[in-house]
A and B are shown apart, each in its own frame.
Chain A
Amino acid sequence: MTVMNKQLNLHAFKDREIVNKLAEEIQLISENMAPLKIMHICGGHENAIVRYGVRQFLPGHIQVIAGPGCPVCICPVEAIDQAVTLSLQPKVTVLTFGDMLRVPATTTSLEKVRSDGGSVKVIYSPLDAVKFANEKPEQTFVFFSVGFETTAAGIAGLIQSGVPKNLLFLIANRYMPPVLKLLMEVHDESLQGFLLAGHATAISGLGVYDFMHDEFKLPCAAAGFEPVDILLAVRELLKQIKNSQHEVINCYPRVIREEGNLVAQKCLNEVFDLKPGVWRGIDVVEDSAYILKEKYAFLDAGKQLTCIPPYPPQAHHPSCLCHRIMLGEVEPQDCKLFKKACTPGKPFGPCMVSPEGTCHVRYTYPEIKIDFS
């Protein structure tokens, strides 16, 4: 592993010269290669790719498509419905990250229910939840947690360190590796590599993706979030594809250690079990839902409070294609609602809400045309 430089200059990772050099190398490596598709599974990657126009540095026959990498987008509607129901109970306040407020649930959203009298507060860190709970011991607070390994590790650490009695948890966190199996099934043999989410892999390490090598013979590269990080990872994937190799490689060594974050992993294993879990609109994915272990059942809002809504869940508006966009089967512009009925101001589906959602990213950043001459 590369030793991290404490004075790391992040500007280098946006450097135009380095970017151009990588683009040239990618061009060269892929020259005689058949058209191929690489999928990334991180909302942060989609944001960076579109914002910096990274796709324009890739040859036309090398496609990098977006997968289900936005934690807000894949959060099951059932969980948001539960949060809505909880927020309407007396002396219960739901705490969550800002992105979740405007995500459409079955009948409403947390933002709308708040304006209708529901008790919902935005927090910026799990520690804020503890602060709120300590300040108002007579009130019950429910931390509605979404996110992947990174957020789950933070929650696990918080729970292990002890939380006030009036703080409960509604956990909708998801573990990323198992969804790759589903993506392979959905895309048949059309995917030829994966860009792994840098931050989630920093927690889990690379070994948990070995099944991609063993079972599917497909290369994976964990990537950072600057243009150079992403192009570097694409270059490494292309090299592997060209040489019929299929290793799981670390292209983000300034953050990721091969074995991951062992302390965080220990915390996660002590606090959570992994069970089958819904990824919104996509499917139930085996061993992908973080569930509080039995010894922490007293913190589980689902068990301690009544939070089942009196209506069946509906993951998507019938015309919304968010679930297929998250699977990488279609592009936002294939959806009839995109930029018309569905905008960040009035989102129909979850992908239009978060800055990591594919529709939101494509809406926010107009297509950049770079003059290479």
Chain B
Amino acid sequence: MSEISYQTLNNVGHIKFPVHNGAMDLQHCRQLFETIQSAKQDDSIKVIVLWGGPDFFCNGIDLNAVHLQYNSSILAYKNLKALNKIVHAVLTADTKLVISALQGSASAGGVMLAVAADLRYARSNVILTPSYANLGLCGSEYWSILLPAMIGYGNTQKLLYEACPVSPAEALHLGLIHQVICGEAPAFAENITAKAEYLASTNIDARLAAKSVLNQRLLAEMDSQVKLELEKMKDCCNHPEFESSRTHFVEKNSCRQSLFLCASPGNNCRINKSDCDE
């Protein structure tokens, strides 16, 4: 599949996955996993940048493909596990620093893939929807370990239960992303590439040593935690709520709009100049 590419330059590995609508089917997941694994083993690089696609970073599993399958529950579950493997590959990249460069929006598992990276930068037009509940799912991709560690227990509750989209400003405030970068796509790409190359060439071993200390607890807990997630997800995949939400999403294709409409007044979707770096 030509949609997923890997290029290296100046000690940095660039992984692009501009899949249609950001929806990762089983094949995409397998290919992205293998690409990340290759990058992890590539001694010529020190930093990996996950670029996603220009319109969407990643929107999790491909619900259209799932819906067309004879037994949607099984494919959904397989697809979730395949996405889990990618997130796991990112989380265990202990000899590389991983950067998420969000040129476009992300939702569900796509958000978790983004936040699994060590550093997360987004364009100012990016909306994150780290909610699964709108699709009748409780979530996987290590959210139960990543989100509480990253944004705190209370914020995780709000994010998961309200299942509302998050503006770049709020994502920055919460700590889901580290920096919002304004400007057009080429400028964003240039900015991220320069950061990545700088990190890769300057005291990278010290940064990786810090990463290994910081991630130690998370890595120790993640196997048992993901088992719990998958157990619940299997039930969700077989639940009528998932089927009706999925049908609504696929047939009306309006789920994304409805997700955006549910933004609560507290969600500040406007980026202030101070939030934004040129």
**Are A278 and B70 in contact, with the CB atoms below 8 A?**
yes
User: How close is B99's CB to chain A, nearest CB, in angstroms?
Assistant: 31
Contact with A318, one of B77, B234, B240 (Cβ below 8 angstroms) = B240
**Are A283 and B230 in contact, with the CB atoms below 8 A?**
no
For chain A, the bracket of interface size reads 10 to 19
**Are B240 and A186 in contact, with the CB atoms below 8 A?**
no
Give the distance in Å from the alpha carbon of A351 to the alpha carbon of B114 in the complex. Answer: 44
Give the distance in Å from the alpha carbon of A21 to the alpha carbon of B17 in the complex. Answer: 60
Measured CB to CB, the nearest residue on chain A to B243 is A318
Given contacts A186-B77, A329-B234, contact A282 B240 (CB under 8 A): no
Number of A-B contacts (CB under 8 A): 24
**Are B70 and A185 in contact, with the CB atoms below 8 A?**
no
Encode B98-130 as 1/0 by CB contact (under 8 A) with A: 000000000000000000000000000000000
Measured CB to CB, the nearest residue on chain A to B234 is A329
Contact with B74, one of A188, A283, A318 (Cβ below 8 angstroms) = A283
Q: Report A-chain residues with C-beta under 8 Å of the C-beta of B67.
A: none
Q: Report B-chain residues with C-beta under 8 Å of the C-beta of A185.
A: 74, 78, 81
B71 within 8 A of A: yes
A323 within 8 A of B: yes
B238 within 8 A of A: yes
User: How close is B234's CB to chain A, nearest CB, in angstroms?
Assistant: 7
A residues 179-223 in Cβ contact with B at 8 Å: 182, 185-186, 188
A48 within 8 A of B: no
Q: Report A-chain residues with C-beta under 8 Å of the C-beta of B78.
A: 185
Give the distance in Å from the alpha carbon of A323 to the alpha carbon of B69 in the complex. Answer: 15
Q: Which of B70, B74, B234 has the most CB of A within 10 A?
A: B70
**Are A283 and B70 in contact, with the CB atoms below 8 A?**
yes
Sampled A-B contacts (19; CB under 8 Å):
A182-B74, A185-B74, A185-B78, A186-B74, A186-B77, A188-B230, A278-B70, A282-B71, A282-B74, A283-B69, A283-B70, A283-B71, A283-B74, A283-B75, A284-B69, A284-B70, A323-B71, A329-B234, A329-B238
Besides the contacts A182-B74, A281-B71, A283-B69, what 14 more A-B pairs have beta carbons closer than 8 Å?
A185-B81, A186-B74, A186-B77, A188-B81, A188-B230, A278-B70, A282-B71, A282-B74, A283-B70, A283-B75, A284-B69, A284-B70, A323-B71, A329-B234
Which residues does A use to contact B, with CB under 8 Å? 182, 185-186, 188, 278, 281-284, 318, 323-324, 329
